[in-house]
Structure 1
Amino acid sequence: MSDAPKNTAVWFEIPVTDLDAAQRFYEDVLAISMTRNNDGPNPMVMFSSMSDEGVSGHLYPGEPAGAGNGNTIHLAVADPLEKVMERVTAAGGQVVSPAIDIPGGRFFYAVDPAGNSIGLFN
């Protein structure tokens, strides 16, 4: 199977209670444009297209696990983390850690307005 995924993670889904508000939050925080897709069984807002390389995912109407429960999705950002932290707060999320240095770069933990745990990495 030549099209088999090369990464352990191949797709992620983030459940949100307000799809439009979540789209605005992630577009503001990540400084990207997202695409709404209504072709499936429920509406989705795509982080990128299927033709992009690497792992990607979408937002969908659902019930987040709640603070302290569920998975943490780490998302890449191009801007300095301090600037991204400001955008998280301005967009209605919560920064829950300082920037953490690791051998591969830096990241911090945050919570989106729906209560999902995210890590923002560069």
Structure 2
Amino acid sequence: MQSDGKLDYLELPSSGIPETKAFYTAAFGWTFVDYGPDYAAFDEGLNGGFDADSDGLKAPLPVLYAQDLPAMLAKVEAAGGTIVRPIFDFPGGQRFHFRDPSGNELAVWSEGG
């Protein structure tokens, strides 16, 4: 079982999935699992993915894990975080996005849903 708050995934924006995959494959030998035309996941020491449909996100998105997503959302708000995307479904589970007091955007996910 995973523990709450574990850095579990890293999403990176992509201006084009085919070009991004070609670069990382040629440069580093990475392999990918495609989740539609706008998302390619990798497992290269840290799980992550490139997102071509990132809703304007232009920075890496660290994704933390939580066993109980609604409870973690409440804890993030109580600690001073600002929720920027409430809980939503995505392939693999549910997640929400928040900004920390320094303005960094992060996400928290869980298998629930």
TM range (shorter): 0.3 to 0.5
**More strand per residue: 1 or 2?**
2
TM-score between both structures, scaled by the size of structure 2: 0.46
TM-score between both structures, scaled by the size of structure 1: 0.43
